[in-house]
Structure 1
Amino acid sequence: MTEKNVLIFQGGWDGHEPVKVAARFAKLMEKNGYTCKIYDNQEVLLDLDLLMRQDLIIPCWTMGKIDAAARANIVKAVAAGTGLAGCHGGMCDAFREDVEWQFMTGGQWVSHPGGDGISYQVNICKGSSPIVEGLEDFPVCSEQYYLHVDPAVEVLATTRFPIVPYYHISNKEVDMPVAWTKFWGNGRVFYNSLGHHDDVFEKSPEAQILMERGMLWAAQGKEYASEHKLTTERFENTAKMY
C-alpha cells in the first residue's frame, strides 16, 4: 500500500494560532490514513523532490514573506498534482507581496470589518460540490473575511456583507465566498476562510467538517492525476515565468 503524505508548514503571525491549527489538521488527516509532518520553517519548501512526493500541502503561515524559490517549488508541485488546502489567514493572508501565491490560492484577504467576535451566517451553496453534501447553513462568531477572489473558483459557501457599518456599506450587499475549490495545473486547491482561532472549529462543528472534506478532496487529486496519466507539459510550455 502506497503511503499517503501531508506536509504542513506553520509560522507567521501567532495570533492565528498556527501551532494549534496545524495540529488539528494533522490529526484530521491522520484519522483518514495520511502520514503528516509539521515543519516550523520554510526551508523545507526548497526541497522540490520532497514536495513532489506529497499528496497534500497545508500552509499555516499568516503574513510574512516567502522565498521566491520556495513558492516556485510549491507552484510546480501543485501543478503536478499535489493538493493545496488551508484556512483563514494561514493560506489567503499569507505572503501579501507574492501575486503568484494569490493566483494559485484563489483569493486574498483585504479586511474583516468589525474585527473578531462578529456574529454572521455561513450559507452553503447546495449542489456545488460533494464537499458540502448534507451540510446546512450555520452561524459563526469570529472574524468575517472580506476577500478579493479569483472569478474562476467554484464557490461552496458564502456570507452576506455588510454586517457592521464601515466605508463599504455605501455599496450594495454582496455574498462573499467563504469556501471554494479551484484547480492549479493538475492539482486541486481548497480554501476555507473560517479559522481565526483554533476554537472556531469547536464552536462551529460544520466548519471542521467543511475543512476535513476539503483537505481530503485536495489530497485525492494526485491519485486522480496519476491514474489518468495527466502531465504538466501543456502548462509548462506556455507558463509565464516570474
Structure 2
Amino acid sequence: MAQRRALVVRGGWEGHQPVKATELFIPFLQSSGYAVRVEESTEVYADAGEMAATDLVVQCVTMSQIASEQVAGLSAAVVAGTGFTGWHGGVVDSFRASSDYLHLVGGQFATHPGKEPCERLGGAEDNFLPYRVSLTELGREHAITAGIEDFDLVTEQYWVLHDDLIDVLATTTHPTQAWHPWHRPVTSPAIWTRRWGAGRVVVTTPGHSVDVLEHPSVRTVIERGMVWATRTASA
C-alpha cells in the first residue's frame, strides 16, 4: 500500500498559535503512517499535481485572504477525494471574503459571547466561558466521536452560522444573558462532518489554544477526524 500523504497548511492570525498547534498533531500523523508536508501559505492549493497526490489537508489559517485559484484548487481536490480538516478559527474563521470557501466548509464563525462587561479586563480571557460540548445521537455512533461522553471546557464558545448539509456530531448551546441581545438559547454545531464530492470534511470548533487542543476529548476528536477524512480507496 502506498504511503498516505498529509499536507499541513498553517498561518494567519498568530493568536491561534498556528505553528505550535499544528506541531502538536504532526507526530500523530507520522506515527499513523502519513508522509507529512508543511506549508506556511495557501499557495500550494493552486498546485493541481500536488493536491491530487494529497490524501489529507490539515488547515490552521485564521482569517487571512485566499486567491480565487487557490480556493478553487482546494475545492477541486476535495471533490476528487482529498480529505480536509481543521479546528477552531483555523478552519471555520478562514477567508471570510471567500464564499466558495464557506460553501466548502459548511459553517462560519460569527462570534464568541463574552463574560459580563463588568468582569472584562481587556484580554482574550474576556471570552473564556464554561460550556458543554454535547454529543448528538449521530455523534454517539460515528467513528470520530463514538465512546466520547459530553465534556466541559472553559474557552471560547463558537457561535457558528451554518447550512443543513453538515452532519452534526456535537453541539454547544449559548444561554441567554442580560447583557446579550438574543432572547432564547441558541445551539450551534461544535463538531461536524461534510461530504463534498468524493471528499470528506471534518470541523472541530474547540481549539483556541494548545491547552484546549490537549484536552483528551478534543485531541481524540481531531486525531480521529484526520483519519476519517483521509482519502478512501474508492476516491
TM-score (norm 2): 0.90
Q: Kindly indicate whether the alpha-carbon contact (under 8 Å) linking 2:57 and 2:85 is maintained by their aligned counterparts in 1.
A: yes
Q: Kindly indicate whether the alpha-carbon contact (under 8 Å) linking 1:120 and 1:163 is maintained by their aligned counterparts in 2.
A: no
Alignment correspondent of 2:209: 197
Q: What do residues 133-170 of structure 1 show as CA deviations (whole Å, max 9, x unaligned)?
A: 11101111110000101211100011111265543432
Q: Does 1:118 align with 2:112?
A: no
Q: What do residues 101-152 of structure 1 show as CA deviations (whole Å, max 9, x unaligned)?
A: 0010110001001153211111111443221111101111110000101211
The amino acid that maps onto 2:196 is W
> Once structures 1 and 2 are overlaid, which stretch shifts more, 138-147 or 110-119?
110-119
Q: Kindly indicate whether the alpha-carbon contact (under 8 Å) linking 1:9 and 1:40 is maintained by their aligned counterparts in 2.
A: yes
Q: Kindly indicate whether the alpha-carbon contact (under 8 Å) linking 1:106 and 1:149 is maintained by their aligned counterparts in 2.
A: yes
How high is the sequence identity, in percent, across the aligned residues? 36
| 1:1-242 superposed matches below 5 A | 1-114=1-114, 115-128=126-139, 129-162=142-175, 165-170=178-183, 172-202=184-214, 204-219=215-230, 221-225=231-235
Any unmatched runs of 5+ in structure 1?
Answer: 226-242
Structure 1 runs (4+) greater than 4 angstroms displaced = 163-166
- Against the structure 1 CA distance between its residues 111 and 53, is the aligned structure 2 distance closer, same or farther, given a 3 Å change threshold? same
Secondary structure of the equivalent of 1:96?
coil
- Against the structure 1 CA distance between its residues 113 and 76, is the aligned structure 2 distance closer, same or farther, given a 3 Å change threshold? same
In 2, the alpha carbon distance for the partners of 1:79 and 1:122 equals 30
Count of residues paired in the alignment: 222
Q: Kindly indicate whether the alpha-carbon contact (under 8 Å) linking 1:126 and 1:133 is maintained by their aligned counterparts in 2.
A: no
> Once structures 1 and 2 are overlaid, which stretch shifts more, 155-164 or 93-102?
155-164
In 2, the alpha carbon distance for the partners of 1:82 and 1:176 equals 26
- Against the structure 1 CA distance between its residues 165 and 120, is the aligned structure 2 distance closer, same or farther, given a 3 Å change threshold? farther
TM-score (norm 1): 0.87
Shift of 1:31: 2.2
CA RMSD in angstroms comes to 1.4
The amino acid that maps onto 2:175 is P
Q: What do residues 43-68 of structure 1 show as CA deviations (whole Å, max 9, x unaligned)?
A: 22221110111110111100010011
Secondary structure of the equivalent of 2:102?
helix
